[in-house]
């Protein structure tokens, strides 16, 4: 028979209670019977009953006494749609959701290079806007930072979460996500460029009038090994009138290029270089 030591012994006397007593106490508590009445019925110290109640809630991932933040999906809380769509792009590019066994809630981390502190700041801002009741913080790593938040509702907000790397499985937007992306396409493009893209300057040399001249031109570049992710990016570019081309690498079209001047101008107006 299992036994449980009373965590609040009286005058140095250690009292043990059987598993059956503990289970009976928890059953009564679930029926809404107060701690003091459960203790009286079973002949157990009130502190012990409270301890058992706390332990059971902790094992279920609950935090007694703390208000659980509301979820836009579960509770109908208002969602900052533009911020969410940008965070969705960041998550799909450089984010991941995990739930370590030692933690009661899953965490979302978006890993961003220290070369672009403005991108890190912007990521933190949209994360706070989407999850205003949760604590957002950063974890410093070599050459980069994880912008991080804990929430039990992350799988509700990001149904793309699943086992294994995102580029190894199918990625599709839920209907409600598609509606938000259709309403705020530039925010998704911005999030994807900030995570898996860049703005760079290409150059070429041409001979004009017998003289070799160097010409420079800007280009936006997006790289992802997931065909679903590239399709999401290019479909969104099509909706906002941006012309793009696929640039295969080793026969695989990992790269999407935006190089035509009118399209680059559009991207500059809504996204711009990383900073």
Most confident listed range (7-16, 23-32, 48-57, 167-176): 167-176
CB atoms within 10 A of CB 53: 17
Is pLDDT at 262 greater than 80 in this prediction? yes
As a whole number of angstroms, the distance between CA 63 and CA 61 comes to 7
Whole-angstrom distance between the N-terminal and C-terminal Cα of the chain?
64
Three-state secondary structure along the chain?
A: CCEEECCCCECCECCEEEHHHHHHHHHHHHCCCCHHHHHHHHCCCHHHHHHHHHHHHHHCCCCCCCCCCCCCCCCCCCCCHHHHHHHHHHHHHHEEEECCCCCCCCEEEEEEECCCHHHHHHHHHHHHHHCCCCCEEEEEECCEEEEEEECCCHHHHCCCCCCCCHHHCCCCCCHHHHHHHHHCHHHHHHHHHHHHEEEEEEEEEEEECCEEEEEEEEEEEEECCCHHHHHHHHHHHHHCCCCCEEEEECCEEEEEEECCHHHHHHHHHHCCCCC
Looking at residue 62, its pLDDT comes to 60
**Neighbouring residues of 239: CB distance < 8 A, sequence distance ≥ 6:** 182, 185
Q: Among residues 97, 139, 87, which one has the least CA distance to residue 114?
A: 139
Structure confidence by residue, pLDDT tens digits, 64-110? 555 667 788 888 889 999 999 999 999 999 999 998 777 778 999 99
Largest Cα span, the chain? 103
**Neighbouring residues of 182: CB distance < 8 A, sequence distance ≥ 6:** 239
Structure confidence by residue, pLDDT tens digits, 213-254? 888 889 999 999 999 999 999 999 999 999 999 998 788 889
CB atoms within 10 A of CB 111: 19
pLDDT band at 268 (very low <50, low <70, confident <90, very high): very high
As a whole number, the mean pLDDT across the chain is 88
Looking at residue 7, its pLDDT comes to 53
Q: How far is CA 45 from the centre of its chain?
A: 43
Burial class (CB in 10 A: 0-12, 13-18, 19+), 172: exposed
Looking at residue 32, its pLDDT comes to 74
Beta bridge pairs of residue 150: 107
Residues 128-140: what's their mean pLDDT? Answer: 95
Structure confidence by residue, pLDDT tens digits, 172-190? 999 999 999 999 999 999 9
Residues of the chain with pLDDT > 70: what percent? 91
What are the structure tokens assigned to 150, written together?
A: 């804990």
Domains and CATH numbers, the chain: 3-59 (1.10.10), 81-270 (3.10.28.10)
Looking at residue 15, its pLDDT comes to 62
Residues of the chain with pLDDT > 90: what percent? 58
Looking at residue 1, its pLDDT comes to 44
pLDDT band at 2 (very low <50, low <70, confident <90, very high): very low
Is pLDDT at 266 greater than 90 in this prediction? yes
Looking at residue 11, its pLDDT comes to 45
Q: Among residues 190, 216, 207, which one has the least CA distance to residue 92?
A: 190
């Amino acid at each position: 028979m299992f036994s449980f030591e009373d965590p609040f012994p009286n005058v140095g006397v250690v009292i043990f209670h059987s598993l059956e007593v503990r289970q009976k106490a928890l059953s009564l508590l679930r029926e809404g019977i107060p701690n003091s009445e459960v203790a009286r019925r079973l002949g157990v110290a009130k502190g012990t009953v409270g301890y058992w109640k706390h332990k059971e809630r902790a094992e279920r991932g609950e935090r007694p006494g703390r208000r659980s933040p509301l979820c836009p999906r579960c509770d109908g809380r208002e969602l900052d749609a533009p911020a969410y769509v940008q965070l969705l792009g960041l998550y799909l590019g450089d984010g991941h959701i995990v739930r370590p066994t030692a933690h009661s809630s899953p965490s979302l981390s978006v890993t961003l290079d220290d070369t672009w502190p403005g991108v890190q700041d912007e990521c933190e801002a949209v994360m706070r806007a989407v999850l205003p009741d949760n604590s957002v913080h950063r974890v410093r790593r070599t050459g980069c930072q994880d912008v991080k938040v804990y929430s039990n509702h992350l799988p509700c907000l990001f149904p793309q979460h699943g086992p294994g790397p995102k580029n190894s499985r199918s990625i599709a937007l839920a209907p409600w996500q598609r509606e938000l992306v259709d309403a705020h396409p530039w925010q998704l493009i911005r999030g994807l460029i900030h995570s898996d893209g860049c703005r760079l300057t290409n150059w070429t040399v041409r001979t004009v009038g017998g003289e070799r001249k160097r010409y420079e031109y800007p280009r936006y570049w997006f790289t992802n090994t997931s065909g679903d992710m590239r399709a999401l990016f290019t479909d969104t570019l099509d909706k906002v009138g941006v012309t793009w081309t696929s640039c295969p690498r080793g026969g695989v079209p990992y790269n999407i290029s935006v190089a035509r001047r009118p399209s680059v101008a559009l991207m500059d107006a809504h996204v711009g270089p990383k900073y």
